[in-house]
Structure 1
């Protein structure tokens, strides 16, 4: 594999920082309800649902969601893993712990985003942002047990926090032999950690409630 040039390495570092800023801008613009700033973080031809395209449709969807579900929100970002398919396309995983004012209830949520990023005319945008939830529960209720997504006025349902990573199911299905050492797979390549964790599966598709 040819060694990267200095210019390529600098471009990669600048792109990583731009993408991290993109995730931070997403949270701030969403929490402050600046929907124009928010939807402009997405590619101009962003797909919305099955048959709609464009930022105007995304703005309408976000507006409706925020007005009918939450009074206030606060999104707190955690670790951010970014990997490049080529200089203008990347994927990423971002942890997020969020707070939501929902009428008389204060709902805490733990989740991660599976992201696809694209550089268009020199700027990085979200091509797709897939939220994967572990739990959502009132501040005074521990989210233990099954059906951890517990919103006011809705029936509890399963989140998808672990669903896109086959290792979760495989771990609990295994019964280790305590009399022998386990095998260890070879390390993933530099730009292949997330792909390896996905076991080379196709990009995840999860129906978002």
Structure 2
């Protein structure tokens, strides 16, 4: 049984380990070290309805990267991490990305909804749900609807705002007085839960 101080130190070390996990994801992906990359995920990571494991994830990544991208650069930013228990956590991290894809240079703004798990003393991704705001050629502003604009594809809507009920609420409910009500702060460790209006973690559609 850990003391309170040991528990607090473990939480700090876990938080830093998860932040390093996210940074290593970007570096290993951009440098195409797929072995380093897939080993950031749990050994039994689900890749599709009938495929589980790092080897299948590596093949899927290899096929995707060779087909679509000459080069990429992922810049991670804001990172909120909350713990479910000592060995499980979830978080949201922003990512601003650049992609060389054929004759176009595509920039992207997105966030990941992550689930993390500590296995045998090390933190891994249990899953990553990408939520996109826009993707567009560097020289074309993503103004208007259907901001996901990849070369060779019809534009489509991303899910950058879809996880957060506040987005629709804000636009649907302008202030009715000069002093709008202010909600109580979220309980400690439940900021994301409060922002999600107590909804369950978003699910990934398995291919």
Short-chain TM bin:
over 0.9
TM-score (ref. length: structure 2) = 0.96
In the alignment, which residue of structure 1 is the partner of 2:147?
148
- 2:11 corresponds in structure 1 to 12
Q: Return 5+ residue gaps in structure 1 as ranges.
A: none
Query: Deviations along 1:17-52, whole A, 9 cap, x unmatched?
Result: 000000000000000000000000000000112221
The more displaced of 166-175 and 152-161 is: 166-175
1:206 Cα deviation after fit: 5.2
| Contact 2:48-2:206 within 8 A present in 1 as well | no
Do residues 200 (structure 1) and 198 (structure 2) align?
Answer: yes
Counterpart for residue 112 of structure 1:
111
1: distance between equivalents of 2:180 and 2:48? 44
State the partner residue of 1:32. 31
Assess if the C-alpha contact under 8 Å between 1:131 and 1:208 holds in 2. Answer: no
Deviations 1:84-127 (A, max 9, x none): 01010000111000000011100000000000000000000000
Deviation at 1:175, TM superposition (A): 2.9
SS in structure 1 of the partner of residue 125 of structure 2: strand
Query: Aligned residue for 1:188?
Result: 186
Q: Does 1:168 align with 2:140?
A: no
Q: Partners of 1:14 and 1:53 in 2: how far apart? A: 29
* Aligned-residue RMSD, C-alpha: 1.4
Tell me how far apart the structure 2 counterparts of residues 205 and 144 of structure 1 sit (CA, whole Å): 28
Residue 150 of structure 1 aligns to a residue whose secondary structure is: coil
State the secondary structure of the residue aligned to 2:92: strand
Aligned residues: 205
CA contact (8 A) 2:49 2:206 kept: no
Matches within 5 A, 1:91-130: 91-130=90-129
Give the Å deviation of 1:207: 4.6
Specify whether residues 113 and 208 from structure 1 end up closer, same or farther in structure 2 by C-alpha distance, changes over 3 A only: farther
After TM superposition, the score normalised by the length of structure 1 is 0.95
Structure 1 stretches of at least 4 aligned residues deviating more than 6 Å after TM superposition: none
